[in-house]
Amino acid sequence: MGRTVRRAAVGLTAGALVLGFPVAVSAQAGEPAEATAETLQASTLRDAAASQGIFVGTAVNDGLLSNSTYSSIASDEFSSVTAENVMKWESIQPSQGNFNFAGGDRLVNFAQANDQQVWGHTLVWHSQLPSWVRDGGMSASQLRQVMNTHITTVMDHYEGDVAYWDVVNEAFNEDGTRRPSVFQTTLGDGYIAEAFRTADAADPNAKLCINDYNIEADNAKSDGMFNLVSSLLNQGVPIDCVGFQSHLILDQVPSTFRSNLERFTNLGLEVVITELDIRVSMPADSAELQRQSQQFASVTSTCLAVEGCVGVTVWGISDRDSWVPDVFPGEGAACLWDDNYQPKPAYTGMLTALGGEPGGGEPEPPTGCSVSYVVNRWNTGSVVEVRITTSTALNGWSVNFTLPAGTITNHWNAQITQSGTTVRAANAAHNANVAAGGSFGFGFQTNSGATYTTPTISLNGANCTTA
Ligand code: G3I
């Protein structure tokens, strides 16, 4: 059996957004233990996923973390992050004994600042493998030592920081036989069991996964995976999960996806959708984008329907950052946000499948609010602290205003998105509820020291007075 199976509840924090369905409340003797909360729907993927007990992740491109639009989406919408490239062997041990953790550390810091899980990708893989390993002509004993040293050193470094590891990636050919990687041809079939045993010794608390593509359907390749993990479990090899990459093509979501996942969970393993995208022949028309939305929703619903499917990770944020056009010329539009970081129908489809609603439904405007907007400027930057007092109790809030100069580079106590000069700040999980007569605050930093008058600020659609 797998080491443990549970549904994760990542991103559920005390005081998290209360959702519009029955929730347990502390009950007095004789009272029912349930009450219906009269509040907002979850308006982000991560809040909606948390309400379902699963995580929702994205692959993060290290080079884009400094783009505040990109990083705001990554932090506000996702409860799990996977390094798109920086934890791969060629990045992390480019030459023997020379470990470079800088990119992976940046991701871990980002995740910790945003209350996110880190998914480690990947330890043993034939691709993005430096030539000193791939073409090094090592003997079996040399390569075994090199593989085990790599696993141990990387997992030791990230022990406690990385929740799941793709220990072995893409070990199969399409017909279900083993891919002839340098590990397979030099070490033989046993390299996978050895990699998992080494990983378990390095970090006994991390969940250990094997990950592959084109195994979503019940087919020869997924049979190969099924036979392997069955055999590993029979041998007592420590393995927790199987990652189904799910690089899908529009209109080709496999009909056997759910039953295929279930044969793996029936073994006691967790299953995860690890790299979801759905590519379209370019240019994509609106009908195709609508079908894509339904298909993102369908994959998400499939995970929710399978006990033991603990999360869905999408492979990248916007279409412009996706790996797809580089590898499949003429195809693209595979992600949830478009080239301008605007949410696509696919975003709404996935959010809705998770039980959320864009905008969270319209919150009631308050009958009155006043705002203090304090700016501290220097030559090339400013820090703005906003505090709003509301005459009406709030269960979730959304604040809109214009930022005449600069780009927001950092923010706190709110989820903030900026589109041109338009800024929207929505409550963080911990400050959604404000009593009548109470106040709440949030802040942000910009890259401009330009002066401007205090903008008009609206709270849940109603303009506030300036204090
Ligand atoms: O780092 C070099 C840079 O120095 C150089 O200037 C540039 C020029 O092309 O290339 C950069 O390397 C690129 C690398 O990503 C880092 O950005 C490679 O060309 C590019 O091929 C590589 O692509 C990655 C691909 O894996 C490699 O196999 C994609 O970003 C990444 O999304 C993709 O992810 C894989 C998963 O790891 C495993 N499953 C399939 C998935 C999609 O292929």
Q: Which residues are the active-site residues? A: 170, 275
Residue 252: count of CB within 10 angstroms of its CB? 12
For residue 322, the ligand 1 atom closest to its alpha carbon is: 32
Q: How far is the CA of 279 from the centre of ligand 1 (A)?
A: 17
Using CB distances shorter than 6 Å, the residues near ligand 1 are 84-85, 127-128, 213, 245, 275, 323
For residue 315, the ligand 1 atom closest to its alpha carbon is: 32
Q: How far is the CA of 85 from the centre of ligand 1 (A)?
A: 6
Topology of domain 369-466 in CATH is: Immunoglobulin-like (2.60.40)
- The set of residues, in sequence order, having a beta carbon less than 8 Å from that of 111 and lying 6+ positions away, is 81, 117, 118, 161
Q: How far is the CA of 92 from the centre of ligand 1 (A)?
A: 14
Ligand 1 atom 4 nearest Cα? 91
126 phi, psi to nearest 5 deg: -75, -20
Ligand 1 atom 30 nearest Cα? 323
DSSP 8-state secondary structure symbol assigned to residue 190? T
| pTM score of the predicted model | 0.76
Structure tokens at 263: 């044969």
Domain ranges of the chain: 14-360, 369-466
Adjacency order of strands within the sheet including 465-466? 408-412, 439-446, 381-390, 369-378, 465-466
Tokens 């405007």 locate to 365
For residue 85, the ligand 1 atom closest to its alpha carbon is: 16
- The CATH code for residues 14-360 is 3.20.20.80
Strand partners, 209: 166, 241
Per residue of the chain (467 residues), what is the pLDDT tens digit?
A: 445 443 444 443 323 333 333 333 233 333 333 333 345 689 999 999 999 999 999 999 999 999 999 999 999 999 999 999 999 999 999 999 999 999 999 999 999 999 999 999 999 999 999 999 999 899 999 999 999 999 999 999 999 999 999 999 999 999 999 999 999 999 999 999 999 999 999 999 999 999 999 999 999 999 999 999 999 999 999 999 999 999 999 999 999 999 999 999 999 999 999 999 999 999 999 999 999 999 999 999 999 999 999 999 999 999 999 999 999 999 999 999 999 999 999 999 999 999 999 887 656 677 789 999 999 999 999 999 999 999 988 877 889 999 999 999 999 999 888 878 889 898 887 888 899 999 999 999 999 999 999 999 999 888 999 87
Ligand 1 atom 36 nearest Cα? 84
